[in-house]
Amino acid sequence: MRESMRKLIQAALAWSVVCLVLGFVWAPALRMPQLWALVGISVFANILQPAYSFFEGQRVPEDRWTARQIVWTVYLSQIAALSELALRQRASLPIDWVFGASLLAMVSGLVLRTWAVRTLRDYFTWNVEVQAGQHIIQTGPYRFVRHPSYTGALLMFVGGCVLLNSWIAAAFAAVGLTAAFVRRIRHEERLLNSTFPEYAEYASRTGSLWPRLF
């Protein structure tokens, strides 16, 4: 409970600063329901997200700085989305199918990522590493996808850009985050293949980010 409260306060303070800056640059943005939907989902996601240090380096050599690459790509894509919203200065954003689809993508991504993290429990780590006693989890979302937490993050953060109709930022998020996750997956699976003989068989019948596509 104390950790959840700390993460709630952390997210609330961060978004307070963002909204103050956005209000100074272009105040009408603060009246958009899309912005507050993004804030609400982001705060909730931060509470459910395992704790991490923004400026922390790699803990193990196998990580190859992939964790930091992902975090910085996420933050840059969201800053780009808010900047694009402010620069375009549209009077309002429509409550249409784009709003519904992007909101659904964000909520689905949050549910999927949370499910994946809870399924792995203590085996979910910030860096690429194998822990003592670890084994290959093949239950929950891992029955179909080997890295569902990354899939969930993609849906959340690309969906957040689309929610604001920030199309340039959405393209950057889709390409940049996919590249970051694929790079991490390459290092992660190299380690898993060398540690667990059964991993190759598991990988042969499951998808990497999407079911049977990678």
For residue 2, the model assigns a pLDDT of: 80
Tokens standing for residue 66:
């992939």
Residue (of 197, 210, 195) closest to 146 by Cα position:
210
Instruction: List the one residue out of 157, 205, 200, 206 whose CA is nearest residue 178.
Output: 157
187: phi > 0 → left, psi -120 to 50 → alpha, else beta; which? alpha
Distance CA 120, CA 175 (A): 27
The pTM of this model reads: 0.91
Q: Which residues, listed in sequence order, are joined to residue 207 by a DSSP beta bridge?
A: 145
The answer as to whether 180 is a domain residue is: yes
| Banded pLDDT at 213 (limits 50, 70, 90) | low
Structure tokens at 138: 């093949």
Summary mean pLDDT of the chain: 89
In a domain, 213, yes or no: no
What letter does residue 50 receive in the DSSP assignment? P
17-71 confidence digits (pLDDT tens): 999 999 999 999 999 999 999 999 999 998 888 766 656 555 666 677 788 889 8
**Structure confidence at residue 214 (pLDDT):** 46
Residue 210: inside a domain: no
Report which of residues 65 and 143 the model is more confident about: 143
Give me the pLDDT at residue 49, please.
Answer: 81
Rg (CA), the chain: 18
Task: Report the C-alpha gap between 163 and 160 in whole angstroms.
Answer: 5
Segment 61-96, tens digit of pLDDT: 667 778 888 989 999 999 999 999 999 988 789 999
At 133 the pLDDT is 76
Please state, in angstroms and rounded to a whole number, the distance separating the CA atoms of residues 195 and 173: 32
> Which of 101-110, 129-138, 204-213 has the least mean pLDDT?
129-138
Whether 175 maps to a domain, the answer reads yes
Which range of residues forms the domain containing residue 47?
2-204
Look at residue 122 and tell me if it is in a domain.
Answer: yes
Mean pLDDT of 154-175: 97
Residue 38 lies in a domain: yes
Q: Is the pLDDT of residue 146 over 80?
A: yes
Burial of 174 (C-beta count, 10 Å sphere; 0-12/13-18/19+): middle
CATH number of domain containing 61 = 1.20.120.1630
Examine residue 136 and state whether it is found in any structural domain, yes or no. Answer: yes
Question: Computed from CA positions of residues 8, 39, 16, 167, in that sequence, does the dihedral angle turn out positive or negative?
Answer: positive
What percentage of the chain carries pLDDT values higher than 90?
Answer: 65
The pLDDT value recorded for residue 55 is 61
**CA 2 to CA 17: how far, in whole Å?**
23
Whether residue 27 lies inside any domain: the answer is yes
Our count of domains for the chain comes to 1
